[in-house]
A and B are shown apart, each in its own frame.
Chain A
């Protein structure tokens, strides 16, 4: 069987369905390692795929591990954002988990700093 015939057979046996994938983080604000003069009011994360809100979320904590989010994360399509309490100077950690609508799971974490 030559390559052309193999591809033709594959096209017959595999029905076309929408392609799905892992949700990769494409943009974060503030970004990883950012050093900010003014404390951010929210964390915004943009992903490459639409997210399943029930299983996706963001946790933001200070250096002591205390939660500094002012509310639950709001998830719309492929974006997540969470409002923050008024942040003092210091280092903060953002931990996110994203489950795309086809149930692939990704997660990550990064830090940013608010200058005194």
Chain B
């Protein structure tokens, strides 16, 4: 049971009202299921991971759109892997359509994020108003 503790689930639900009158309103729902190897290593059971492996996070993101007026749900599952460092994060995910209405091709997405506040703590990472951190 304790090996479930590194799991994290986030989700969001929204209601989309398009500007065009001929487009359908829809419920947009999405989320992510993650498993933090860093949390597993540091808080549950030391696995002897190297520093690189410990900063990996397997993840499955999902994003769906369910029209309210007409049409069926479309969306994708995005299984992938994130590596989180001190100042940057790298992620690679596959994009898998959930049904034929979404599409028939498999895609891939790669992301590189920089932690701007950590890279430039005294300029971009500081308060616009008030004192220094």
Contact = CB atoms under 8 A, between A and B. Distances in A.
| A and B from one complex | yes
B99 interface: no
Interface residues of A, number: 24
B118 to A, nearest CB: 5
Interface in B116-133: 118-124, 133
B133 A34 contact: no
Interface of B: 38, 41-46, 51, 86-87, 115, 118-124, 133
- The binding surface of chain A is classed by DSSP as loop
A108 B38 CA distance: 11
A93 to B, nearest CB: 11
A32 B123 contact: no
Given A24-B86, A48-B86, A17 B42 contact: no
Contact of B123 (A17, A49, A103): A17
A32 B87 contact: no
B45 A102 contact: no
Interface of A: 14-15, 17-22, 24-26, 28, 31-34, 48-49, 102-104, 108-110
A26 B48 CA distance: 11
B44 A15 contact: no
